[in-house]
Each structure stands twice: as C-alpha cells, then as structure tokens.
Amino acid sequence: MKKIAVVIDRAPDPNLFELLRMTVGMTIEDENKVSLLLLGDGVFCINRIDEEKLGFDMAKHFEMLKAMKADLYAHTESAEQRNVSLSGTWFQSLDDGATVEILAESDFVVS
C-alpha cells in the first residue's frame, strides 16, 4: 500500500482545482491510502467559498474524497489562529505531532 499525503497550505484559489482533482483520482487505486492535510492558510478551504469567484465547488471534492475513504485533516493550531471552526466539517483535527507523523510515514507528499 502506498501512503500519499496531499498538503494544502495556501488560501483557496482557482489553482486548487487541479490539485483536488488529482487527489480524488489517487483514491481510485485501491493500493493508495490518501490523506489530505490542510495546514496554515489552507484551513480557509473549510469555509464555504463563493463557487463563481473560485471557479469550482471545493465542497464536492471534499465530499468525494470522504466517500472514497480518504482521510481529511485540518491542523488544529492553524484553524484556531485563523478563527476557523472544524465543528460540523468532514475534517478531523490534527496537532503538530500527528501532522509530522503522517508526513513522515507517507511514501509520497504532494503540495
């Protein structure tokens, strides 16, 4: 099994579409275990974003990733510093130690 960590560490922008599309594609291979990590300004992806301004529906990608059994994480400290709530989202909170562990154990890290 290949462990793949996909890191989003920037605020939402239209260029994230390709990264999220690729991440969904990686879940199709049964031998891949995909984890999506929102770090730093990436936690702003949790907020509902105007689809017209962004150019795509980010929530649909997160929903598909969850359906395909990807693990979705958001860095707790990043969320707290930016007043982003993880409550009621698809994302599990992740502390510094767990973040380092996931990244260290991954065969591939994509950002």
Domains assigned to the chain? 2-110 (3.40.1260.10)
Note the pTM of the prediction, 2 decimals: 0.92
Q: Is the pLDDT of residue 47 over 90?
A: no
**50-108 per-position pLDDT tens digit:** 677 777 888 888 999 999 999 999 999 999 999 999 998 889 999 999 999 999 999 99
> What pLDDT shows up at residue 53?
73
81: three-class secondary structure by DSSP: helix
Q: Is the pLDDT of residue 30 over 90?
A: no
Q: Are the C-beta atoms of 64 and 22 separated by less than 8 Å?
A: no
> What pLDDT shows up at residue 56?
82
Q: State the CB neighbour count (10 A cutoff) for residue 67.
A: 11
Q: Look up residue 106 and give its two tokens.
A: 């991954």
> What pLDDT shows up at residue 73?
98
